[in-house]
Chain A
Amino acid sequence: MAFKKKEATADLTDSSAVMKARNLQQTAARQRIAHICGKTMTYTFLLLMALIVIFPFYFMIISSLKTTEEYRRSVPTLFPMEFKFANYLNVFTDKDFQFWTLFRNTVFVGVVSTLLSLVITVFSAFAFARLEFKGKNALFAALLGTMMIPGELFTITNYQTVNDFGWMKSYTVLIVPFLVSVFYIYLLKQNFMQIPNELYLAAKVDGTSDLKYLWKVMIPLALPSLISITILKMMGAWNSYMWPRLVANDDAHKLITNGLRGAAFVDELGNTDYPRQMAAVTVVSLPLFLVFIFLRKYIMKGVSRSGIKG
């Protein structure tokens, strides 16, 4: 892919056959050169961007291996002078951090809320993308509208609601309030709409039920988006902080980020021990990373494309 090349293409105005043949030859050579140039530029660009994008991750890893003293140096070192693997050991052994409890809670909340969220999102997106009903556009616009008000303002009302429901300090309160995301419904709707309507109508003629069609055709075709949603939703459980702390800060339900920001990494003067914290962050991020590696092939897999318009 060469989106920056400026090479001229063949000059087609010439009428002479000989010239044409020569031109074609030249063009082929030029195209080859252009192709190589294009590839080089593509790789240069991708590698440069990759370098920029990966830097925080790299920094996280090296910081997790530094000693606290080295971390505090005014000019940060780009490679640890001395590896402190004890930071990692500490993650599992530190009684104040309670890694396994936090991890178990987070995985449970993450998996359950991701699955439920996917189901809700798929059905909603399907309704918007494939079914006709009165007020569809207005409803969709209203949904978009809900994204436009800063959610920080919802906290107090939602706190009152879950308190009235008696959900305090439970898994329910961590999972249910944020199951629906208009952001994801919209994404999936866009994806579903890329799938030509003819397929659906044909299925209707064949007497295929909606559910079967959804399962057999729509979901496989929209898999990349579904995986994006899965990853984002899981990340949400991994990164959520304010709400869980507010409504379920007890040991039985505490999530990992609350543990990461909690007392285990703060000394008696309120200063954070960053290398130890980074080691914990890295350990915590690892499962997500593995999940991604596992799911990646589905994102890029060329799903059967037969009959799919553009």
Chain B
Amino acid sequence: MPGDAVFTLKNVNKKYGPKQVLQNVSFDINRGEVLGLIGASGAGKTTLLHMLVGFIPSSSGDIIFKQHTRKGLKDRNVLHNQHLISKTYGFASQHPSFYEKLTVIENLHYFGGMYGQTTETVDKNAKTLLGLMGLKSNMHLLAQHLSGGMKRRLDIACALIHNPSILILDEPTADLDPVLRNQIWDIIKTINAKGTTVILSSHHLNELDTLCSRIAIIKDGNLVDIDTPEKLKAKYSSVQEIMIESFPGNYEKITKYLKGVDIHQEGTSLIIKTTSPETVISQVLAILKKQKESLLDLKLVKPNLDNVFVEIYGKKKAKKEIAPVNTEDVA
């Protein structure tokens, strides 16, 4: 039921000593959506996720969990109803959390038992999850012998063993290669498709772009914005990047002609940033033709969440924090 809030945050503040980690954060998390949290390291993403389920108390403000009961929807303060809501969510932290010396199936049985599941239910859920996570063939392998991607999948499986309606993932693809990351995203999509609300944080912003229903951007403890990826991109990054490579590569005329445009040379390529790419491309192509330059390559990089992040955090900071950006060929 998209639009039906499952969590409501009202003016949530968190201070660690003199340090304000979160400041007046207010937003809703809707049932069935995939909400992505992005922000620099230390921005308060993990703190917010922990506060969301009551692991950490807020300094002020309320976090309300909206629980469906027989009598209808009931607001419950997560801080005071942890035991009640703990069965409704699964949490996978930045670092996989399971016993390395137990096998995959043993871990699932153990954590299923910790959630008060019967053996039959755990068996049933484990079977489904092992299939979903692609761990069936390795179910009797000790967890310590699993690969990084398998460990991450096992961790998510452990978080889902009690069949929760909410899945919270803190950096689920950290330290994974692109192939494994894609596997995880596919799994998350599958889980979400079954109606599970997914709340996640990640540094791979462009991957969140296609996965998340909404994205919340946190900077210095403040919720800068929360919206769909498209709206965010439109809001924060209208500049598109054109990359041109020609032979013999005399770009002086272009630089002189396109005065006032953000333009610079990187190696043998010319990078132009503009809000009107169509106009600029036609002008550039005309100059190249005039200069008898042979066009070798032309790429148009559309704005993505990285750009949004850069816009919000600053160029160099963003470079340091975000993962490499995939470019889209436009030529």
Q: Do A and B come from one complex?
A: no
List chain B positions with a Cβ less than 8 A from chain A: none
